[in-house]
Chain A
């Protein structure tokens, strides 16, 4: 099912949690809402689910106005950040809940409910936990039960709030892979919220980067990583080196030192953004140089703190370079970015 959000705004008092959000989600997509804590991701998800109402804007499912329908009528499966499993019910009853509360006319009989719950517990590979209570499960198990519960009623949309949030690194990795393959299997339009770029880049087909209630960029994981549209996205995704520069008449200056790089379409005080691994150390000179302050080596790379003079101030940047050219503390090196972006302040 397609979801279309048009100019969504939501305020809490004077504070705008969502500020004019436009988003189209295609049928069968696995979309990530990525952004720092407080950027409005959960609020947006809750508005799609019908658990919150926007102050302005439209939500439509397959072209139909979804705001005319309550949470229970939207056929949305919602997996809460802290799972919100029914604590007084067994795993089985948790998963069966959505089936049991259906109106009598369309409710499955007991055998039908049992079969469906069994099917879902098999799907999340936890059928052996049917008689446990939520408190007797690990975080990863709770997460999967919450997912099974949300899927029981065959929702047309699946919404997951920080599905990997509270899990340790190993379980997190497993669950990511599992969620992706589950999506391939059931292929329901899915949106998940995360503040972790790795979650978003590894799992989603498309990533929506949010900040302060606004969408900064929408694109595939490759696009948002390689072609960040804004300074925020560049800084938020991947490791970035940031230097203050000034652009006048197409020329880039760092302090009073001109740099031999182009700055299309910007002017005035700006920031030069370079991925940490794109900043190279070598003989080629573009006018950017710095003093090596500290070097540590591990694996195939060495990581160095380099102090760059920018006008009167010094900016210390951290770069990764191959180990074949060993850096020594105290030496001055030429720096040149293999790829870079300049964003006006």
Chain B
């Protein structure tokens, strides 16, 4: 509401008190920086992918190895987003709506995957499930394959992307408090009815926001997945891993073709994120009335 007023106001102040040259230089430098470090690489990715034309580009993506990587990436993303959606909702619910000892510790733990290098996250799973790991012998005797297979990749990805959903929801749910839930309960709603009719509709944009970021990271994760994947061609290579392998083999068109898909994902994520943020802001403004 007051946004335009402020913009107008500061606009006037800037014109009066600062030389226009400073403004041009500062804005120009920002633009230059963004162009060199963000826009240019994106353009190069697409340009490289298309050096031999659209046909070669599509052919590169239709390679069995590329298709397998795309499928694996989608599957892993689906599993880890699904798991993190459930975990994230439960964790955010517990933290925002209940008081219990150890709450601060839990909040800190949720952030752990963000503060640990992904490579270390991957190594933890090797220590747990590898042949020499804690559960390794037991898993081997029961013929269960976790490392160098889809379960390991999904687990590592889930771990690395765990904070996204809960991080998006905790502040939102804390701000909303528990009064609407109490009103619903007092009106005779069951716990599930309260969740689906009151809580979920109030946080749906936050959930989408968390899922979006979680998905982007899940599809793009390299470090942790690289450690647990084993790089079995056509089987345990996700898209980011395949890009690296192809690039190291000087297969530039296929490498950049697969990379372009990841870049496209980033662009779509960015646009969706902007739209969602507007929805979240609107919700917040409505509440401030």
Contact = CB atoms under 8 A, between A and B. Distances in A.
Contacts of A149: 183, 187
A93 to B, nearest CB: 10
Interface stretch (B64-72, B80-88, B139-147, B188-196): B188-196
Contacts of B184: 86, 97, 101
Interface of B is mostly: helix
A23 interface: no
B193 A87 contact: no
B52 interface: no
Contact of B185 (A71, A77, A85): A71
A294 interface: no
Interface string A112-153: 000000000000000000000001000000000000011011
A88 to B, nearest CB: 5
Contacts, number: 64
Interface residues of A, number: 26
Interface stretch (B30-38, B197-205, B217-225, B251-259): B197-205
Nearest to B179: A84
Given A101-B193, A101-B197, A71 B186 contact: yes
Q: Which of A49, A82, A85, A86 has the most CB of B within 10 A?
A: A86
A173 B196 CA distance: 38
Given A72-B187, A101-B189, A153-B187, A84 B286 contact: no
B277 interface: no
A177 to B, nearest CB: 26
Contacts of A78: 182-183, 186
A150 B186 CA distance: 9
Given A80-B179, A87-B286, A135-B289, A50 B202 contact: no
A135 B193 CA distance: 23
Given A101-B197, A153-B188, A135 B183 contact: no
B180 interface: yes
A87 to B, nearest CB: 7
A87 B175 CA distance: 13
Interface of B: 179-180, 182-190, 193, 197-198, 201-202, 286-287, 289
Interface of A: 49-51, 70-73, 76-78, 80, 82, 84-88, 97-98, 101-102, 135, 149-150, 152-153
21 contacts: A50-B186, A51-B185, A70-B185, A72-B188, A72-B190, A77-B186, A78-B182, A80-B182, A84-B180, A84-B182, A85-B180, A86-B180, A86-B183, A87-B180, A88-B202, A97-B184, A97-B187, A101-B184, A101-B197, A135-B286, A153-B188
Given A78-B183, A84-B179, A101-B187, 17 more contacts: A51-B182, A51-B186, A70-B185, A71-B185, A72-B188, A72-B189, A72-B190, A73-B188, A78-B182, A84-B180, A84-B182, A84-B183, A86-B183, A86-B184, A101-B193, A152-B187, A153-B187
